[in-house]
Amino acid sequence: MSNVLPSDAARSRLSSGDDPTRRLAEIMAQSTERLLKLQNDMVASVLNDQIRLLEVPMSASDAMASMWQLPGFYRALFGQVAGHARQSCEIISQMHNDMAGLVCDAIAAQGPVVAQVIAGGNAAFVDRRTASVVINFPDRRGMVALVRAARDAAKRPHKD
């Protein structure tokens, strides 16, 4: 558990004022480094501590006796693996919590910016609606009147 950062330390690191993308990469890099260190410690422990438990057989009877040593070896090894698995899960969980906090903080920080942009757009729309004059299309309206008049004239009976 010593490899897991405390929540307060993670929060102080996250509030350093850097770019959120850089901080996200730092969180991932530091968590990966802690995981690799934990894996390295596990391998070193197995090679140094557990393998020494097995005695080197000097005769055929010693080789057969070494089979009786394996249950003790595996019991200790599996206990150690379970402890390292717990630590790995805690590291990954802390990394996810730090990343989620960072992303949520970044999203929340965008709220005022978006509100300001929308308010500016609304103000521009209101200004446009109140300051504009209705555009008059006399030629277009004249063309519509001519088309209607021609249609009406076509519907009337011809007087010859």
SS3 label, residue 4: coil
pLDDT at position 127 is 67
Q: What pLDDT, on a 0 to 100 scale, did the predictor assign at position 50?
A: 64
Would you list the domain boundaries of the chain? 7-155
Cβ contacts of residue 37 below 8 Å, gap of 6+? Answer: 3
The least confident of 34-43, 69-78, 106-115, 133-142 is 133-142
User: Is the pTM here over 0.85, yes or no?
Assistant: no
Q: 35-55: per-residue pLDDT in tens?
A: 999 989 888 887 777 666 666
Convert the pLDDT of each residue in 2-14 to its tens digit: 444 434 544 454 4
Contacts of 39 (CB under 8 A, 6+ apart): 84
Distance, C-alpha 116 to centroid of its chain: 26
Interval 90-100 mean pLDDT: 93
Angle among Cα 21, 22, 27 to the nearest 5 degrees reads: 100
Cβ(91)–Cβ(31) below 8 Å: yes
How high is the pLDDT of residue 2? 41
**Percentage of the chain exceeding pLDDT 90:** 19
* The pLDDT of residue 142 is above 80: no
- pLDDT at position 124, please? 74
Tokens of 139: 């030629």
